Amino acid sequence: MPPQRIVTLTAETTEVAFAVGAGGRVVGVSGYAVRPPEARKKPRIAAFQTAHVDRILALEPDIVLGFSDLQADIAAELIRAGVNVLITNQRTLSETYEAIALIGAVVGEPERGRDLADETRAKIEAVAPPAGAARPRIYFEEWDDPLISGIAWVSELIEVAGGDDIFPELRTRQRAPDRVVESSEVIRRNPEIIIASWCGKKARLEKIAGRPGWDMVTAVGDGQLFEIKAPDVLQPGPSLVHGARLIARIFADWRADR
């Protein structure tokens, strides 16, 4: 019998569980869950790196789903309490598709999980521009203090959408502290577009433009600074389709203005 009482610790796992048809069996969700809207009616039992373990245990879950090694301590506490836990740790688009299919299988909807993974992949790949389209240089900023460049799946979305990440060598580094960049190096690499998504807070584009020396950056001079909200690009699940489309639209507008 598939799990009848499911708790999701993250927005990604919440979205997948509902999308494969298991939403009616979800009894607790992450406080960051935004998709689908009905998920927000469920009891909220976790932030990201913290969770109300007592509340989770009171829900008597058959399975708890989460994402990231940053939830290892939560997972360990739940496992010690006898709860079944699945934590995926995807960093690339390929791993994201695999995680979607895996979650679908674990909640008892393997076929719908595979279909959702394939659909997510197809929709992301569909944002690719025509062959030969101009490719802008992109700086993606995940955090502002210190400056942190984009994680692997974001860098890959940029490439799929027809841009070139100015820090491609950093995308294989899983830990955010290992993707810290110097302001002077951003200036030197001179991005033509800057996209910010500060995890957990609104990106201040005027602060980015006003950094010392950044008036020399092409993106700043041309007014090519954009925010994409974290739920659309920093949650590695089906929501990445929204992020891919937003990135592709920014690039298409940039090409149209050239």
CATH of the domain at 166: 3.40.50.1980
Residues 93 and 145 in one domain: no
The reply to whether 84 falls in a domain is yes
pLDDT of residue 252: 98
Q: Give the list of residues 6+ apart from residue 60 with CB closer than 8 angstroms, or none.
A: 5
180 with 78, same domain: the answer is: no
| pLDDT at 50 (0 to 100) | 87
Query: Residue 233 belongs to what domain range?
Result: 137-256
125-175 pLDDT per residue, tens: 999 999 999 999 999 999 999 999 999 999 999 999 999 999 999 998 988
Q: In the chain, which residues have pLDDT < 50?
A: none
In contact, 240 and 210? CB cutoff 8 Å:
no
User: 223 and 184 share a domain?
Assistant: yes
Per the structure block, which two tokens stand in for 87?
């934590």
Give me the pLDDT at residue 83, please: 97
Angle subtended at Cα 176 by Cα 15 and Cα 93, rounded to the nearest 5 degrees:
45
Q: Provide the whole-model pTM.
A: 0.95
Per-residue confidence (pLDDT) for residue 121, from 0 to 100: 98
Q: What's the structural domain count of the chain?
A: 2
* Same domain flag for 106 and 31: yes
